[in-house]
Amino acid sequence: MSVDHPAGVRPAQARGPRQIIAASIGNLAEWYDWYVYSFLTAYFAPQIFPGHDRLAQTLSSFAVFAVGFFLRPIGGLVVGALADRWGRRNTLTLTILAMGAASLIIAVVPTYSSIGIGAPIILVFARLVSGLSIGGEFAANTTFLVESAPEGRRGFYSSFQYVSTTIGQLIASGLSAILVGTLSDDAMNSWGWRIGFVVGGLIALVGLWIRRSAVETHAPSAERRPGLFEAIVRYPKQSLMIIGVTVAGTISYYTWTTYLPNYAEQNKFDPGKALIISTISLAFFTLLQPVAGALSDRIGRKPLLIIFSGAFALGIVPALALIRSGPSFAGYLAISLLGMILLSGFTSISAAVNAEIIPGHVRAAGIGFPYSLTVALFGGTAPVIGTAMAKAGHAGLFGWWVAVLCVVSLVVYLIMPETHRRPLQE
């Protein structure tokens, strides 16, 4: 049951492991569903989309993946505004219900051979629901986690945003690897891929139950109800800063965690081995998050962000070239793990950095809209842009696209103020 507190007050009882768990389980459910779509797309795309060109079908599937991202800004704005007006906890319940429903819709969607064009239409609808849900989830979850943190530990608490995200992705990757390893190709193509989405619906139910015990961290007063666009209108500089902070992180994250396995497969790397490497790398990535977040509480946010963006700007082109050259299992694993180390410099603290930029009464919407808009434009499009470049015979250009965006954020990181010792604005 939600607990009432004066506006802006973060109660002492909200600062504990149960807040982290309540936020994390729902975030896990949200992102498990989002990523199981990516990992299993090679199996369900031929069932949902017409034609016989598997690369074209994969491209269509990733296009739907990107379309879902373009509802994330709307979710971040609308659901974020609800979190600012009605509290974080209620909106977190709403987002996990929506994601569970979307997952189950995909689990039972008929094939193209059964209902024709209706199959991709249903799939698009489900991904749009997912996009709205995840946009709202990040807006409410970010503020909920950081507002629950004691002073001096916001980076550590912030890191659990991507701990839960990565555990969800890890479960998706692991389950996909198990399904591919135990079921025949015919079974995977006909019904095996549906298991992944059924599991997503079950995880959402567990998350809904756990979130019932969450303590509200922001109870706005009746006299101070922010409008839908108040954060953008009153704090345009902060909104632009969040976009600049996010650009490099989102393109690098989705390139490394979502597109890289498919990129390796497009360059003749064994799909089963690619999934195994992805699973190992994600487990390693999860362990890095609290370490990097705690480090930022000591030395600041900027050093981690600068090292991340600079290293990715310099290294992404040669890293993808090495993947195209056909590395061994050990070589591909080493490339993947190194990227995860660098990427943690962004992922572990992005929630804290964003929350430290925007005042509390508009924090959820103020983060949710610019962040989700940036992810939609540069993160959600990463797989489809990379796949399209590969199909056009210019796979090497994608790395340069990522490098340019990393340079953009690097400039922002260099000029932005350090925020790790500042109290949160109310």
Residue 40 included in any domain: yes
Contacts of 64 (CB under 8 A, 6+ apart): 120, 123, 124, 127
What pLDDT shows up at residue 423?
85
What pLDDT shows up at residue 221?
59
Mean pLDDT, contiguous 10-residue spans, the chain (426 residues): 42 64 83 81 80 64 70 86 84 87 91 85 86 81 87 92 86 86 88 92 88 77 71 91 95 87 79 83 92 96 97 94 86 93 96 91 89 84 80 82 95 94 83
Residues 26, 137: contact at Cβ < 8 Å? yes
Residue 156 included in any domain: yes
SS3 399: helix
Q: What is the CATH number of the domain that holds 31?
A: 1.20.1250.20
HSE of 105 in the Cβ direction (CA atoms, 13 Å)? 19
Q: What gap in Å lies between CA 355 and CA 140, rounded to an integer? A: 11
Q: State the CB neighbour count (10 A cutoff) for residue 184.
A: 10
- The beta-carbon contacts of 5-10 under 8 Å, at least 24 apart in sequence, are 5/216, 5/219, 6/219, 6/221, 7/218, 7/219, 7/220, 7/221, 7/224, 7/361, 7/426, 8/218, 8/360, 8/361, 8/426, 9/219, 10/147, 10/148, 10/217, 10/218
- For the chain, what is the domain count? 1
Residue 224 included in any domain: no
Q: 225 φ, ψ to 5°? A: -110, 100
Q: By residue range, what is the domain housing residue 349?
A: 12-215+229-415
Residue 6 included in any domain: no
Q: What gap in Å lies between CA 353 and CA 351, rounded to an integer? A: 6
DSSP letter assigned to residue 385: H
Q: What gap in Å lies between CA 214 and CA 253, rounded to an integer? A: 29
